[in-house]
Amino acid sequence: MTTQWGIKYAVHIISTHFGDLAARVCECLLRRGPLSKHNIVRFAETPLKQVHVCLLLLIQQNIVQAYIVEDTGGMDDVVKQTTQYMVLFDNIIHRTRFPKFMTVVAQELDKGCTELFQSLLQHGRLTVEKMIQIQESSYGEESVRENLAKLVHAHFVERCPAVEPLLVPPSEEELAAKKRSRSAKVAAEPDIMERVIDAAAPMESKRFLIIRDDITIDSEMADDGSANVGEKRKRSFLASNSELGIKEEVLWRANYEEFLHRFKHNACVEDVRQRVDDSAAIALSAMLESSRRMESKVKSRTSVPVPINAIYEEVMKDEAGRSMTLDDLREYLEHLKCDRGANDSYSIDLKSILELAQNEEVESIVLKRYGEDSHRIFRLLSKADHLLETSKISKMVFVDQKETPNILYKLWKDKYLHMEKVTVVGSQQCEFLLWKVNKSALWKNILDDMYHASLNVSLRVVHEMEQGSELLSLPPEKREGPLLVKLERLRNIKRVLEESLRKLDDSMMLFHDF
């Protein structure tokens, strides 16, 4: 379940990229969850024809995923199939990260690949033929195919998911297992999102496999025994014709997950660089680089174990790492509390590094927003991770006994702290206040504030640019004197705001995606 400001920010992004109509459809899906086409028409109060066009666009741009559900609840035994449309919130936010994705591709691959990748971002999903068509004027067919192969090999590009898979209801056993492992509180929505994405995803064996169209072996590859039973089952459920009339064909798109893996690793490495030193950062970076290919989910807690020799090989690729001996490397890995497993392999608990970084972010906000004493109190409670009583807090942090309750109250009012009242009845009735940091609730609020802030900054950029539109449209020869100064100022404003947005987005990834 995404937060209120998350929804507003997402709607703003869609509205600037694709217009208000698409934004309205998205908002409707974001607020109400998956809906059928007719329900979208009803709730978004938009004519069917327009909804149809919007859905086509949003699917093309990887923002909406369609799926079929079977309804057997009727009086008769007829199974009714309906198509539902689900919006992918994360993919909307990822759109603001396209420049970051481009930078990664440009650093690793050549210009042809970067241009092809840009086209994929722009068009959402493309067939090989379409790519060839787009790049034809600058590159020949073979080069385009080669570029695509390079992008796919680097996992920057992947095969698109099925247009409209059938969502098989979870089996009795799966349901029972879920009941056992999860509390009833867990909302059903993330569950269905996961199931739909899983159902639509191409088989892992084909996700990064390019098959030349002229060697039509599409099905052979899938049935050659390398695909497991689950994958085969999934495949057989793929619908051949979608409600919107989109035909199933081999399409390619940017693989956002790969970039998030990289950003997550980068965030960990930079954190270690700051907390420990450069050499430890080199060791960690090498370890993560050699394990990245084997990682599956971005959110996994630990890295995949890699043999020390493989890590050392990676260290040697870095100029600064060449002075490191194998023993040094071992020492750094131990220092970083890496787990040593079988075959002399190492893995690391990335979650704990990221948690430290998250704590630091929130503490930094508290310091700036409420001052030093509040920061000290907040850190005490955040580290203690249990309830502490007002006067005890005051003593532990050396903040005046009278001032402490005021600070605590303020932090509590702004939802940074959780408070509990305890009444002790003795000769007199005494009331004590106990405080703690409830991280999961607070982190959610902080993330919501970040979405809110991002929306505000984006709106301000738009506003500043509108204000300066006349200046910007001046022909070059008129850009002089005071006008030039004003223009420079406008450019600075744009730069500062966009830089803020970019950095804020790093924090949002830290709290939401990693």
Partner 1 sequence: MSKRKRPDSAAPAHGLTEHEKTIYDLIKSKQDMGIFSQDIRRETKLLPNMVTKSLKSLLAKNLIKEVQNVQHKGRKHYMASDFEPSAEITGGSWYHEGALDKTFIDLVRKTCLSYISSLKIATVEMIYDAIKRSKLFHVECSQEQIAEILRTLELDNQIVEFRSTGCGEFASIPILRVCYKIAKKPGSGKEPKVSPMASIPCGVCPRIGYCSPDGIINPITCEYYNKFLDF
Instruction: Catalog residues that contact partner 1 under the rule CB under 8 A.
Output: 8, 273-274, 360-362, 364-365, 367-369, 372, 375-376, 379-380, 383, 391, 395-402, 428, 446, 449-450, 452-453, 455-457, 459-460, 463-464, 489, 492-493, 496-497, 500, 503-504, 506-507
CB of 493 to partner 1, least distance (A): 5
Q: What share of the chain is helix, strand, coil (3-state, %, to 5)?
A: 65, 10, 25
CB of 486 to partner 1, least distance (A): 12
Q: How far out from the chain centre does Cα 232 lie? A: 29
Single-letter amino acid code for the residue at 443: W
* Residues 385/436, Cβ–Cβ less than 8 Å: yes
How far apart are the C-alpha atoms of 9 and 428, rounded to whole Å? 53
Q: Which is nearer to partner 1, 52 or 439 (CB)?
A: 439
Closest to 293 measured CA to CA, from 415, 118, 156? 156
Q: Which is nearer to partner 1, 428 or 440 (CB)?
A: 428
End-to-end CA distance of the chain: 16
CB of 63 to partner 1, least distance (A): 22
Q: How many CB atoms lie within 10 A of CB 178?
A: 12
How far apart are the C-alpha atoms of 150 and 131, rounded to whole Å? 14
CB of 494 to partner 1, least distance (A): 10
Q: Which is nearer to partner 1, 350 or 366 (CB)?
A: 366
Q: What is the DSSP string of 257-303?
A: HHHHHHHHHHHHHHHHHHHS-HHHHHHHHHHHHHHGGG---TT-SBP
> Helix, strand or coil for residue 475?
coil
Q: Which is nearer to partner 1, 86 or 399 (CB)?
A: 399
Q: What is the DSSP string of 65-117?
A: EEEEEEE--SSSSPPEEEEEEEE-HHHHHHGGGHHHHHHHHHHHS-HHHHHHH
Q: Which is nearer to partner 1, 96 or 255 (CB)?
A: 96
CB of 315 to partner 1, least distance (A): 20
Q: Which is nearer to partner 1, 211 or 365 (CB)?
A: 365
Q: Which two tokens stand for residue 463?
A: 């506003």
* Residues 123/160, Cβ–Cβ less than 8 Å: no
Q: Is the four-CA dihedral 301, 305, 308, 312 of positive or negative sign?
A: negative
- Name 157's bridge partners: 254
CB of 103 to partner 1, least distance (A): 18
Single-letter amino acid code for the residue at 34: P
CB of 65 to partner 1, least distance (A): 29
Q: Which is nearer to partner 1, 401 or 469 (CB)?
A: 401
Q: Which is nearer to partner 1, 208 or 412 (CB)?
A: 412
Q: Which is nearer to partner 1, 306 or 417 (CB)?
A: 417
Task: Return the H-helix or E-strand segment holding 114.
Answer: helix 111-123
Q: Which is nearer to partner 1, 51 or 338 (CB)?
A: 338
Question: How long, in residues, is the chain?
Answer: 514
> Helix, strand or coil for residue 248?
coil
CB of 458 to partner 1, least distance (A): 9
CB of 339 to partner 1, least distance (A): 17
Closest to 271 measured CA to CA, from 360, 379, 357? 357
CB of 98 to partner 1, least distance (A): 19
Single-letter amino acid code for the residue at 228: N
CB of 20 to partner 1, least distance (A): 14
Q: Which is nearer to partner 1, 238 or 396 (CB)?
A: 396
Closest to 414 measured CA to CA, from 451, 376, 378, 372? 378
How far apart are the C-alpha atoms of 338 and 349, rounded to whole Å? 7
CB of 426 to partner 1, least distance (A): 13
Q: How far lies 415's CA from each of 358, 412, 454, in Å?
A: 17, 5, 20
Q: Which is nearer to partner 1, 298 or 356 (CB)?
A: 356
How far apart are the C-alpha atoms of 291 and 304, rounded to whole Å? 6
